[in-house]
Structure 1
Amino acid sequence: MTDNTPAPQVWPTLRARDARGLIRFLVDAFGFEETAVYGEGERVDHAQLSWPLGGGIMLGSDRDTPGDKWSLQPGTFGAYVVTDDPDALYARATAAGAHVLQEPQDTDYGSREFAVRDPEDNLWSFGTYRGEPRKG
């Protein structure tokens, strides 16, 4: 069987009050990989964190810049992320201080998943559901 799924080209983005702190948390708690971080001091102009199974997120420091066309409020992000071992990831995330919203559970659509908040108040759901096969 051949997998004809293209490489991920949708990159969810978020802003953070403490972007460098959030990067450390996302790496330590969830296992994101720090791929690129640009900025000086505590400011992050752009960061790319890659997810080991593919894709990733981009983030930067919250800015109060007049005319900013990419204004996102910290703590308003939510994502579902595929993982092969949600129970181990749940243990890792809670040990790192993630706030539990839903403990690991099995769903009626065949996924095992959990939900947490990060220190910036963003919502993260992790599970084994990979979505339905693409048509065509």
Structure 2
Amino acid sequence: MTGETSFRLGRFAPTLGVRDIDASYQAYNAVFGLQKVFSNGDPVGFMILKAGAAELHLTLQKGHHAAPFNVAHLMVDDVDAVHARCVAQGLRIIKRVQDKDYGLRAFVFADPDGNRIDVGQALER
């Protein structure tokens, strides 16, 4: 098998488990400008956030324990600005901003539930 397909891929959005869906929404909105475009349940147990081409799904999991690895990677055009917003929101920085030998300037932060997100920007060569 060559990995080629006869079909086009569409939306592929990560879903993060969270203990407090509103707190997570507030953090992702403040840092990335993600807007709630859908929510379901009373109380809300599922939410879709979107900004530009980026989409993130949140699912309420009261017993959620974050994985000890990065659960998503996000490419941006100003990694330093995103880092500053994460710091301003009091989010924990797991790995500091640094230029990587594989061509990215990147850092890792943990959201309010400990989900680790790797944020990168392509370095000019």
Deviations 1:96-122 (A, max 9, x none): 011011121111121111111111010
The equivalent residue for 2:60 is 61
Instruction: Calculate percent identity across the aligned residue pairs.
Output: 27
Q: For 1:115 and 1:30, how far apart are their aligned partners in 2?
A: 14
Cα distance in 2 for residues equivalent to 1:74 and 1:38: 22
Q: For 2:95, which of 93, 102, 106 is the aligned residue?
A: 102
Instruction: Give the SS at the match of 1:128.
Output: strand
CA distance in 2, matches of 1:106, 1:51: 26
Count of residue pairs brought into register by the alignment: 113
Given that 2:76 and 2:120 are in contact with CA atoms closer than 8 Å, whether structure 1 keeps it comes out as: yes
Which has the higher mean CA deviation after the structures are superposed, 14-23 or 88-97? 14-23
Q: What's the TM-score once normalised by structure 1's chain length?
A: 0.72
In the alignment, residue 19 of structure 1 is paired with which amino acid? Answer: I
Unmatched segments (≥5 aa) in structure 1: 1-5, 65-72, 130-136
- Give me the TM-score of the superposition, normalised by structure 2: 0.78
5+ residue gaps, structure 2, are: 1-7
Residue 81 of structure 1 corresponds to which residue in structure 2? 74
C-alpha contact 1:45 1:60 (8 A) present in aligned 2: yes
1:29-84 deviation line (CA, Å, top 9, x unaligned): 233222222232xx3232111143x13111121168xxxxxxxx342371111110
Q: 2:21 aligns with which of 15, 19, 22?
A: 19
Structure 2 Cα separation of the partners of residues 16 and 81 of structure 1:
19
Contact 1:29 1:94 (C-alpha < 8 Å) held by counterparts:
no
